[in-house]
A and B are shown apart, each in its own frame.
Chain A
Amino acid sequence: MNYILECNNLTKTFGPTIALNNVNLNVERGKIVGLLGPNASGKTTLIKLCNDLLTPTSGEILIGGKKPGIETKRIISYLPERTYLNDWMRVSDIIEFFKDFYTDFVPDKAYDMLSKLNIDPKDKLKTMSKGTKEKVQLILVMSREADLYLLDEPIGGVDPAARDYILDTILSNYNESGTVIISTHLISDIEKILDEVIFLKEGQIVLQKTVDEIREETGKSVDALFREVFKC
């Protein structure tokens, strides 16, 4: 009952396309979980369902025992693939915005991380590069003391140095009693920081195990196992 995320026979279709097919899944609290799968395997669909950005076709999804809605939005900190920052605010305005809407947001943490990156809070979001915008977004998301962090492809399309920064930021800022779910297809970079992994293939879960279980049982890294499972 104390699962942070539960999916029961969860199915989502878009017209004739089945994005998620009868998924059953439980994720515990206090874990860092990798949601792994190739493109179009249903990772983003699952994360959007958690966020109430999509409605299930059938089955149910529960966040901390509740259906997605206002209550669950309060406890989820979500980093989408897209940059959602508008073009009229300054960094300090968007921090104020987060503070206004999320009671678990810690502005000091955000300002601290910004100063480490030499980002001036007076800067306009509009004039920032894509990379900087993504960092600002990560800082906003990780400055919350959330129960569930949902990070959709946080390390896709960035250089290795930025990747290290992102992983370090996640590790040093997440709320330890909360759970972090990271979706990605770049496994080798993040496998060390994961407790467990979920393999998603064509809308179905093919494996859910801890990283050390996989290494112990197969003598392979998660990355190597992934390449095997998803061989073309």
Chain B
Amino acid sequence: MSWNLTSDRPIYAQLIEQMELKICSGVYPLGSKLPSVRELAREASVNPNTMQRALSKLEESGLLYSVRTSGRFVTEDKNMIKETKKRIAREQIQELLKKMTDLGFDQQEILSMLNDMAKELKK
């Protein structure tokens, strides 16, 4: 999973989102140790200070925790990950709904289209 940053929004906010995604999708599994700030910054080719800022935010929200001498870890709290997943999903769906409404679809149409596509995916 590569880092995908757009140019119009604050970088640290985007880093938070991408880290959340990586944690939820298991790139960084529950309870695992994260690479150092410098390594992560290099990987994303961003400023280490910005990466540091993003990680601190994630620590505040509880998704990460740090142990003084041994580094930074992903939370072991499954519920928390679940909650985060839900939140991201809601955000994505909201965005989708907004776009669809802008295109002129009503709720019924959107739902049936979703159903159809989900069925096709299963096959």
The answer to whether A and B touch directly, with their CB atoms under 8 angstroms apart, is yes
A151 proximal to B (CB < 8 A): no
A195 near B38 (CB under 8 angstroms)? no
Q: How far is the CA of A216 from the CA of B7 in the complex (A)?
A: 11
Interface string of A163-205 (1 = CB under 8 A from B): 0100110011000100000000000100111110000000000
One digit per residue, 1 when the CB lies within 8 angstroms of any chain A CB and 0 when it does not, for chain B 3-18 equals: 0010111111100000
Choice from A172, A194, A212, A220 contacting B42 with Cβ under 8 Å: A172
B59-93 contact mask (Cβ, 8 Å, vs A): 1 or 0:
00000000000000000000000000000000000
Cβ B42 vs Cβ A188 within 8 A: no
Contacts of A30 in B (CB 8 A): 49
A148 within 8 A of B: no
Task: Give the distance in Å from the alpha carbon of A194 to the alpha carbon of B51 in the complex.
Answer: 11
Cross-chain contact B48 with A176 (CB below 8 angstroms): yes
Q: What total count of A-B pairs have CB within 8 Å?
A: 55
Is B45 part of the contact surface with A, judged by Cβ < 8 Å? Answer: yes
Count of A interface residues, CB-CB < 8 Å: 24
Give complex CA distance A131, B95 in Å: 46
Instruction: Verify A31–B42 contact, CB threshold 8 A.
Output: no
Interface of A is mostly: helix
Q: In the complex, are the beta carbons of A32 and B45 less than 8 A apart?
A: no
Q: Does B41 reach chain A (CB closer than 8 Å)?
A: yes
Q: Count of chain B residues with Cβ under 8 Å from any Cβ of A?
A: 18
A215 contacts B11, C-beta separation under 8 Å: yes
Contact A168–B42 (Cβ < 8 Å) = yes
B32 at the interface (CB under 8 A from A): no
- Contacting pair A168 B7 (CB below 8 A): no
Q: Which residues of B contact A188 (CB under 8 A)?
A: 7
With A168-B42, A172-B38 in contact, is A192–B11 under 8 Å at CB? yes
> Contact partner of B38 among A164, A176, A216, CB < 8 A?
A176
| Cβ 8 A contact of B41, one of A31, A171, A194, A223 | A171
Residues B1-55 near A (CB distance < 8 A): 5, 7-13, 38, 41-42, 44-50
Taking Cβ atoms with an 8 Å cutoff, the residues of A that contact B are 30-32, 164, 167-168, 171-172, 176, 188, 191-195, 211-212, 215-216, 219-221, 223-224
List 9 other contacts, CB 8 Å, given A168-B45, A172-B38, A224-B7: A31-B49, A171-B38, A192-B44, A193-B46, A212-B10, A216-B10, A219-B8, A219-B9, A224-B8
